[in-house]
Amino acid sequence: MNGRFSEYVLTDLAKWRAEGKRAALLTLYNVEPTGPRPAGSQMAVSDAGDFTGFLSGGCVEGALVEEAKAAMDAGENRSIRYGVNSPYFDIALPCGSAIDVYIDVIFSDAHLEQLITAMADRTPLRLITDMKRGSSQVLAADEDDTRMQMILDGTTFDRLFRPPLRLIIAGKGPVVVASVQIAVASDIAVHVITTDDDIARQSEREGATVSKSLKADSIDTWTAVATLFHEHELEGPVLHAAMHSNAFYIGALGSRNTHAERVERFLEDGLSEAQIKRIKGPLGISIGSRNPPEIAISMVAEVLKTYRQRFPV
């Protein structure tokens, strides 16, 4: 049984089905009172025992895989509860909570393809599932929707699919590669903009996509932008584009003095104070960073903190 963590499990679900395996979509639709994973978290499970995603801290995933395989054999959807008031008294959650999981073994390939395409196109959608009837529908979602990821109404849940968090990093030097490593390990999609061919190769090896310039339409509501230049005259075009976008986070490397000079430069360029205040400079949570990995950790932590405040789960 091979499992890996991912916030987005649909691509593995589709891959397993394309390989001829049966595969189910599992959704955590209720948590009482709190747990390690929020309501709306999902797993994909194949009949071979492969799985992606976690619905607990690792306590019940093995049992969920077996339950999903049993549901696939029966060809029927089911709900299962673990923890307090569960029929499975031998499977305990150390945190003392309870979770309810819906196992959908007949989730349609059409809905699966629709959701995967929307995520690739960075278009939000809602999955409405009637657990009593065993049916689902996919509806459009508002780009400005900052609601909770999961809304439960009786036996129906409304799961919001936001496009994956994306981080655009522009710059040169070892901080760029360290930032790619930390961000990819944090399940963030990363795109690097650099003219340094060696940094580009290293970034690609670590899992980032790479380009030499910024596409005008590449920054959206679910995108963070960080400039990691020591030659600060090179950061202007990227920061200009970010300030004119809906990016939820903009950060720039440099000291407080550097940022003051940056602010003056942008004021002279005609940008408003409101636009310039969107830039966090120096970027990152203050942890006394002194080397590339520490700077990367502080920056990625700040991106995640800002994202969770903007888009609650």
pLDDT of residue 203: 98
pLDDT of residue 294: 97
Q: Class of 166-310 per CATH?
A: alpha beta
What span, in angstroms and rounded, lies between the C-alpha atoms of 255 and 135?
55
What span, in angstroms and rounded, lies between the C-alpha atoms of 59 and 37?
11
Query: Splitting the chain (313 residues) into consecutive groups of 10 residues, what average pLDDT does each group show?
Result: 82 97 98 91 97 91 95 97 74 78 97 97 97 97 89 97 96 97 97 97 98 90 96 91 96 96 96 97 94 97 96 88
Domain parsing of the chain, residue ranges: 3-161, 166-310
Supply the DSSP string of 147-185, one letter for each residue: S-SEEEETTEEEEEEPPPPEEEEEE-SHHHHHHHHHHHH
